[in-house]
Structure 1
Amino acid sequence: MALLRRLHLYAGILVGPFLVITALSGLLYVFTPKLERAVYVDALTGTQSGAPWSLDRHVRAAQHEIGADEAPVAVRPAAEGGTTRVMFWVSWP
């Protein structure tokens, strides 16, 4: 019985820090959308001046901005008052 208690203690000492790190990173992951909206408020919202662009034009503008002709991984059209989000998978040197 003493051996089982000692093994349980050592297992707790070994696994405990991983559980704490996992819990803290999960907590940050829950609040990521709110943090993203607070940090990138200027990039995620905008005012429209002129005729709205097509999604193709948004993609071409984003490709020009990053300097690559790669196809986007995802395109999220703009919601009311928002901006279109074009995401790429680019490996940097």
Structure 2
Amino acid sequence: MPNDASAQNQPVTTSSSRARTDSQLVRDVRRAFTRTTGLNSASIHVQARHGVVTLTGSVPQRSQIQRAGNAARSVRGVRSVTNRLTVRTRHSSGQ
């Protein structure tokens, strides 16, 4: 019987990583952002495709770019992160 218990524990871990959909990854990355101190994620857009997460948008400070990337990488199921965040300048004059 101990073999049955061991067999049950292994597939749960493996299947939970594989079973994550792109929308679940996006949700989990956003949750990771809310738990990250010093990160204003209001203007960060998150996309996921087959475990590859892409961050676009802007943050108020340069240090937040790295914080966002690290938070996204920490999410289980994320295979890689493409960080395309930019720093939002106070003088946002386009017109």
Query: TM-score, normalising length from structure 2?
Result: 0.29
- Ranked by relative contact order (alpha carbons within 8 Å, sequence separation 6 or more), the top structure is 2
Query: TM-score, normalising length from structure 1?
Result: 0.30
Is the helix fraction higher in 1 or 2? 1
